Structures are given as C-alpha cells and as structure tokens.
Amino acid sequence: MQEKAFSHPKIELVWDTVVAEVVGDSMVTNLRLRNAKTGRSSNLEVDGLFVAVGLKPNSQVFSHLVTVDEAGFIMTDELMRTSAPGIFAAGDIRQNSFRQAITAAGDGAAAASSAFKYLYE
C-alpha cells in the first residue's frame, strides 16, 4: 500500500504532520494541520476525510486467550464468540471485519446479545 501511495499521481504525502482541526459546516472543507517537528500550522483544502488508524490489530494481549489468524485478527463466529467461552470480539480487531464504523456497531450489538445469553443460560 505504501508503494502505491508513493507512486499515485493524486496523492500528496505530508510528513510529520497531524490534523489539529477538521473545518466545515455541513461538509469538510479544510484541515488545519500542525507539523509535529516544527510546530508550524498550515491549512489544506479538502473535499472529504477518511480516518484510518492502522492495518495491524492490537490483539497481542488476547492472543494467549483466544485463537487469532496469521495477521493477528481474533477469530469469531457469526455471534462474535471466540474460541474461549465467555470471550467475545467485535469490530476491527475481528477477522473478516469490513473495518467500518457501521459494521463495528453491528458486531458490538451481536457481541452484547451473545454475552447476555452466555451469562443467563
């Protein structure tokens, strides 16, 4: 993915910079940026914003408790049950997740329902 981004003509890489503010009324129009090394602020006009926090799951703390795949994602069934009874997983940490907020919310609802049934059966 990095190589594709580097070579894509429509992608401008901005290094050592964080988004300080998302600007716009009903739609995103601007990002206020701050260079983490120099502290210098700048504005970037945009038509939208996608937030991505990474591609690797932060599941190491659970890998000794539940089954994870080769990439580290927790394996679940359709009811969000893991390989360990009483442990459920939902959202981006789960194998085969769509990595979208709306599906993570659905996963959370399924996991909560499964946990409730587990506790009261």
pTM metric for this prediction: 0.61
Does residue 69 sit in the same domain as residue 36? Answer: no
Q: Name the domain count of the chain.
A: 2
Burial 60-93 (b: 16+ CB within 10 A, else e): eebeeebebeeeebbebeeebbbeeeebbbbbbb
Does residue 107 sit in the same domain as residue 70? Answer: yes
Does residue 67 sit in the same domain as residue 91? Answer: yes
Encode pLDDT of 60-115 as tens digits.
Answer: 999 999 999 999 999 999 999 999 999 999 999 999 988 888 999 999 999 999 99
Which structural domain, as residue segments, surrounds residue 15?
2-45
Q: What is the pLDDT at residue 30?
A: 96
Does residue 34 sit in the same domain as residue 65? Answer: no
